Chains A and B, each alone.
Chain A
Amino acid sequence: MEHTDLFMLIYIFALACFVGFELIAKVPPTLHTPLMSGSNAISGITIVGAIIATGIEALNLATILGIVAIIFATTNVVGGYLVTDRMLKMFKKK
C-alpha cells in the first residue's frame, strides 16, 4: 500500500517538473527577475506544512520550531508576491 502511495507522489513530482520546464522556457529574459521572485513566493507553499505541523500540539520544542517555520514561510510568501508585483507594475509599453 505504502509503495503505491509513494509512487503516486513521485509521478506527480515528475509530471509537475515537465509542466514547469514547458512553461518557464517561454518566459522572456526581460521577465527573468520577476519570474524568480514570483516562483520564489510559490516555494513558500511550505507554509501549509508549517501550519499543520504547528497547530496540532501544545507548546513544546516542535511547536516552537513550527512557529519559526511559519514566520520564515510567510516572509517568503508575502515578501515574494509583493516585491514581484512592485516590479511588474514598472513594466510599461511606450
Chain B
Amino acid sequence: MEMYKDILVNTVYLIASFLFIFGIKMLSSPTKARKGNFYSAVGMFLAVVVTLLNEHILTYEYILIGIVIGSAIGSVLALKVEMTAMPQMVGLLNGFGGGASALVGLTEYFQILDPTVTRVEEFTIKMAITIALSIIIGGITFTGSLVAFGKLQGIVSGNVIKFPLQHPLNLLLLVGVFGLMVVGAIYPTDQTIFLVILGISLLLGILLVIPIGGADMPVAISLLNSYSGIAASATGFVIDNNMLIIAGALVGASGIILTNIMCKAMNRSLLNVVMGGWGQNAAAEASSGTKKEVIVKSIDSEEAAMIFSAASSVMVIPGYGMAVAQAQHAVKELMDVLNKKGCDVKFAIHPVAGRMPGHMNILLAESNVPYEKLYALEDINEEFTNTDISLIIGANDVVNPAARNNPASPIYGMPILNADHSKTVIIIKRSMAAGYAGIDNELFYNQNTLMYFGDAKEAINKLNNELKNLS
C-alpha cells in the first residue's frame, strides 16, 4: 500500500513538473499565455493535494490554518493591487517565496535536532550544507525583497544609499556566511552557527539592495526573482524532492535571463548595478563641464493639438513618469482620437522603461492598447526617421542622444530609442529636472524638440480636448 502511494505521489510530482514547463513555454505567446499560467497553477494544486497524502503527516489543522491565511492574503493582494504598483507587488511576492525557503530550512534543522524524533543520524554533510544554503539564499531574498518593496512603495528612500566601507563590509559578510556554512557542516548540531547564518543572511539582504537606485530596480527585482527560485531549489535538495529542484531552477533561469536583458539594455555589468549605480560624481562632472545657456522651446496644449492634427504617424515613448501620473488611460484616449483622424500611433518601449521588465506593457494593456502596437527597441528603432512626432511621456535617459555621441557621458553606449531622428519631438515633462542618471539631456535643446510642461495625465487630457475641438 505504502509503495503504491509512493508511486502515486512521485507520478503526480512528475506531472506537476511537466505542467510548470508547459506553462512557461506557453508564456511565449500573448494568446496562449493565460492558459499556460492556468496549467502551471493546476500543477501547483496537484502537487499540494498529493503532498497532503504524505504518510508522515500527523496533523492537518496547522497546515490548513496556514493555507487558509496565506490564500486570503495572496488573494487580497492580487485583486487589490493597482497595475502601476506591480513592481512592488512582484517584489513582495519574491520576498514571501524566499522567506518560505529559509523557514523550511530552519524547520528541517530543528526537527533533525529534536531529541524526541532522533533523526540526528540523518545529519550528513549534505544535509547541513543544503539547509545552510536554503537559509542563506532564502534569507537574503526575504529581506532584500522587502527593501526593494519599500523603495518602490516609497517607504524607504529610493535613492542610492551609500556609506563608507560599504562594499568591503558586504564582501566580508558574504565570505563570512559561506565560511560559517562550512563550519556548520563540520559541527552540524551547533545551533548557534545556524542562527548566526540566518542573522547574517537577513542583514546581507538589506545591505545588498539598499545601494540600488530606483531606476535600477528592474535589475534588482529580476535578480531577486532568480534568487527566490534558487532558494526553492535549495529547499528541494534539503528534502530530496526533484519537483522543487526543477521548479526552482526554471524560476532561477528566468530571473537570470531577465537580469541579463536589463543589464544589456543599460550597457552596464551586473556588478556595476549591484554596487550602486552610476557614480554620482561622474554624472555631476559630465554635466557641469558642458553646462551652457540654452533655450528650450515650450508649447501649450493648443499649439500641441495643432501639431498633432497635422501628423500622420506618432510614436509614443512611455517611461516611469507615465506610471507615476497614471496617464495610461489618457494615452489610450489620445491614440483613439488620433486614429480617428487617420493618424497611425505606435508605442516604442525601452527594456528598462519603468521599474520592472515589461512594466509599460502591462500598463498599456490595462488601458486596452492592443499589444501588437507595442514595439521593442530593436524592432522599431529604424522607423523613427519616418515618424512625424515622437511623443515622450515621462522618459528621459532612454532617449538621451548622449548615449550615442558623447563618450564622456556615464550612459555612453547604452542602447537608446532614436526619438531625435523623427521630424518633431514633443516631450511631456513636469520640469527641466535631469533624469535618473543625473545627466543633462541634450535632446531637450534640439532644433526639432518642443517641451510640453505639465503632469502627464493632465497634459494629455488637455491635448485630447483640444484635438476634439479642432475636428
The yes or no verdict on A and B being binding partners is: yes
**Residue positions of A touching B, CB distance < 8 A:** 2, 5-6, 9, 12-13, 16-21, 23-63, 65-94
Q: A41-B41, A76-B96, A82-B79 are in contact. Are A63 and B62 (CB under 8 A)?
A: yes
Q: How far is the CA of A35 from the CA of B358 in the complex (A)?
A: 9
Residues of B within 8 A of A47 (CB): 44, 48, 100
Best-buried of B27, B70, B106, B256 by chain A (most CB within 10 Å): B70
Q: How far is the CA of A82 from the CA of B93 in the complex (A)?
A: 12
Q: Which residues of chain B from 229 to 288 have any CB-CB distance to chain A below 8 Å in the complex?
A: 229, 231-233, 235-258, 261
For the A-B complex, the count of residue pairs with Cβ-Cβ distances under 8 Å equals 392
The 28 sampled A-B contact pairs (Cβ below 8 Å) are: A12-B242, A16-B248, A19-B21, A29-B376, A31-B30, A35-B358, A40-B251, A42-B247, A44-B232, A45-B20, A46-B232, A49-B238, A51-B48, A52-B51, A52-B56, A55-B54, A56-B57, A60-B110, A60-B114, A73-B70, A73-B97, A73-B100, A74-B66, A75-B70, A75-B73, A76-B74, A91-B371, A92-B371
Q: A23-B21, A24-B253, A79-B93 are in contact. Are A43 and B247 (CB under 8 A)?
A: yes
Q: How far is the CB of B4 from chain A (nearest CB, A)?
A: 19
Determine whether the beta carbon of A34 is less than 8 Å from that of B101: no
Q: A2-B124, A52-B56 are in contact. Are A39 and B225 (CB under 8 A)?
A: yes
Determine whether the beta carbon of A93 is less than 8 Å from that of B239: no
Q: How far is the CA of A87 from the CA of B108 in the complex (A)?
A: 36
Minimal Cβ-Cβ distance residue in A for B65: A67
Q: A36-B357, A37-B93 are in contact. Are A51 and B51 (CB under 8 A)?
A: yes
Determine whether the beta carbon of A5 is less than 8 Å from that of B240: yes
Q: How far is the CB of B146 from chain A (nearest CB, A)?
A: 12
Q: A43-B247, A48-B243 are in contact. Are A36 and B225 (CB under 8 A)?
A: yes
- Additional A-B contact list (19), CB under 8 Å, known A19-B249, A36-B255, A85-B38: A20-B250, A20-B254, A34-B37, A39-B251, A41-B93, A43-B228, A48-B47, A49-B238, A50-B103, A53-B104, A55-B58, A55-B60, A74-B67, A76-B96, A79-B73, A79-B75, A81-B40, A82-B74, A82-B78
Best-buried of B28, B97, B233, B241 by chain A (most CB within 10 Å): B97
Determine whether the beta carbon of A25 is less than 8 Å from that of B86: no
Main secondary structure of the interface of B (DSSP, over half): helix
Determine whether the beta carbon of A36 is less than 8 Å from that of B258: yes
**Residue positions of B touching A, CB distance < 8 A:** 20-21, 23-25, 27-28, 30-31, 33-34, 36-38, 40-41, 44, 47-48, 51-52, 54, 56-60, 62-63, 65-67, 69-71, 73-75, 77-79, 81, 83, 86, 89-90, 93-94, 96-97, 99-101, 103-104, 106-108, 110-111, 114, 117, 124, 126, 221-222, 225, 228-229, 231-233, 235-258, 261, 349, 351, 356-359, 361-362, 365-366, 368, 370-374, 376
Main secondary structure of the interface of A (DSSP, over half): helix
Residues of A within 8 A of B248 (CB): 16, 43, 45
Determine whether the beta carbon of B89 is less than 8 Å from that of A37: yes
Determine whether the beta carbon of B361 is less than 8 Å from that of A33: yes
Determine whether the beta carbon of A52 is less than 8 Å from that of B54: yes
